Amino acid sequence: TCTLLSGVCGSIMWRKASAALLLALAVGYFYGGLPNFQTSPQSNSSLERAISAAWEALITLPSRQWSKVAVGVNACVDVVVSGVGLLQALAVDPGTGRDHDVLHSKEDLKDTFIHYMERGAAAERFFSDKEVFQRIARAAAEYPGAKLYVGGNAALIGQKFATNPDLMVLLCGPVGPKLHQMLDEQIVVPPESLQETDEFHLILEYKAGEKWASIQAPQANRFIFSHDVSNGAMSTLETFVASLEEFQPELVVLSGFHMMEGQGRELWGERLKEAVATIGDIPKDIPIHLELASMTDKDFMNRIMQEVLPVVSSIGLNEQELLFLSQAAEGPHAALPAWKGIPEVGRVSDILFWILEQHGRTDPSSESDLTRIHFHTLAYHILATVDGYWGNQAAAVMAGARVASSQACGLQAVDISKVELKAPLEFHSSHSGPGEQLSLNPEEPVTVWHRGNITFHLSPVLVCKRPLRTVGLGDAISAEGLVYSEITSQQPF
């Protein structure tokens, strides 16, 4: 490892006990003495260069690629604006942060935004008051520098798929005139899902180190809120499933379940049952990927885990969704209130293993279809798959990491000068059980380990130092990972 990471090893030794350092300097043995100990920035850039070069050499498309993918069902127009700037324009005082499950006022919005900004964490909330939301939306659209983008997980995943010229994409969701105009021309929208008005989501972004009064963001991120009834009720789900018969996709991607949460327990309880029954109408030989998003109601998350996870083949989620899922069902590390810094690989691995063991198809006789989880966090990604169902997963996890690095910087390719490695160079495969000690090799940047009949692939991310846009990164990561994945099992899901 030290021959590959000489500069890094040198800088680690520099920080160790001075006696060992003096001995090393005296014999003049360690990497040519003092000069090399002082070149850690250069050494780090060579580490990132090695990883980027390895991605280009090792990421290859699978032998059998998808030709038709159907994506549904949440879609909207995103209004992206400076969070601190907009809240100042709305004349609210910063005060202290406090989380609200549902937003009812400007004060609730301010409290919840600050709560997540000071943690550098992403979150999404429903705004209950339609009139107040529309006033805030108008102020956001008129705010200097505000930008309009394609929004909603399904639409963003569809847009990412559409960058592949040989891939035909069906998108079903509440598509208004503005969104329809913004979508890639390669995307097919069923006429039944077109509507007269657009759904707007407001995305309040902040930069790393940005301040508001005494609050400072530890990293760049965003806070999303909306008053979105069409997406909240997943109103186009039945239209989506009905359109599959004519379109004949090889892969279905679903998202938008998190939007139901803002509708209240009685409504989401009933709608969830209908949604699960509708998904049951999708032919069993078509794999289904579910993209999860931020949720706050443990009962709702538990119901999704018990009822939705077993009827899909694959899920995509980030560190907050992963921990909340474990907290909702009292799984591994559920006592952890929140991640501190970069989530520990061993803890993440424990939760992924538990999900597939408890709710996946690790036993061939299981009625569950779940065989794949794509986990992404800022510093690294993990693909966990039940053996025998998915192929090309090393390339898939690297492809997801590569697109996170380039898209966050607003580029088509990775620029070494604009990214940095934040992933741990050494880690354990489990936190609570007997695990292996593993390390990262920059020249082959996928670390692989096994637990039972589940295989884990980890790739570091080269983190963009000054991200231009954080919205939709998870969707791009999951879409890219799916483009590079293939089904190896002939068994129906």
Which is nearest to 249 in space by CA: 66, 37, 74? 66
- In this structure, how many other beta carbons lie within 10 angstroms of the beta carbon of residue 171? 31
Q: What is the DSSP string of 196-211?
A: SS--EEEEEEE-TT-E
Beta carbons of 454 and 385 less than 8 angstroms apart: yes
**Per the residue annotation, which of 111, 228, 297, 475 is the catalytic one?**
475
Computed on alpha carbons and rounded to an integer, the radius of gyration of the chain in Å comes to 23
User: What is the DSSP code (8-state) at residue 343?
Assistant: P
Amino acid at 408: A
Q: State how far the alpha carbon of 256 is from the alpha carbons of 9, 123, 153, 174, 275, in Å.
A: 45, 14, 7, 11, 11
Give residue for tokens 């309009």: 148
The pair of three-digit structure tokens given for residue 122, joined into one six-digit string: 């992403």
Q: State how far the alpha carbon of 218 is from the alpha carbons of 207, 322, 340, 421, in Å.
A: 9, 21, 12, 17
How far is Cα of residue 493 from the mean position of the Cα atoms in its chain? 24
Task: Provide the phi-psi class of 66: left if phi over 0, else alpha when psi is between -120 and 50, else beta.
Answer: beta
The pair of three-digit structure tokens given for residue 343, joined into one six-digit string: 């989530």
* 69 upstream amide cis, omega within 30 of 0: no
285 is an active site residue: no
Cα–Cα dist 237/235, whole Å:
6
- Report the relative pairing of strands 426-428 and 437-439 from DSSP bridges: antiparallel
Residues 6+ apart with CB under 8 A from 447: 438, 439, 440, 441, 457, 458, 459
Describe the strand order of the beta sheet including 102-103 as a list of residue ranges: 102-103, 123-127, 221-226, 200-206, 76-82, 147-151
Cα–Cα dist 29/104, whole Å:
66
3-state secondary structure of 136: helix
Residues 6+ apart with CB under 8 A from 428: 345, 346, 435, 436, 437, 438
Q: Which residues pair with 390 in a beta bridge?
A: 487
Cα–Cα dist 125/120, whole Å:
16
Which is nearest to 294 in space by CA: 101, 110, 82, 72? 101
Give residue for tokens 């989620």: 317
Cα–Cα dist 293/262, whole Å:
13
Q: Which residues are catalytic?
A: 475
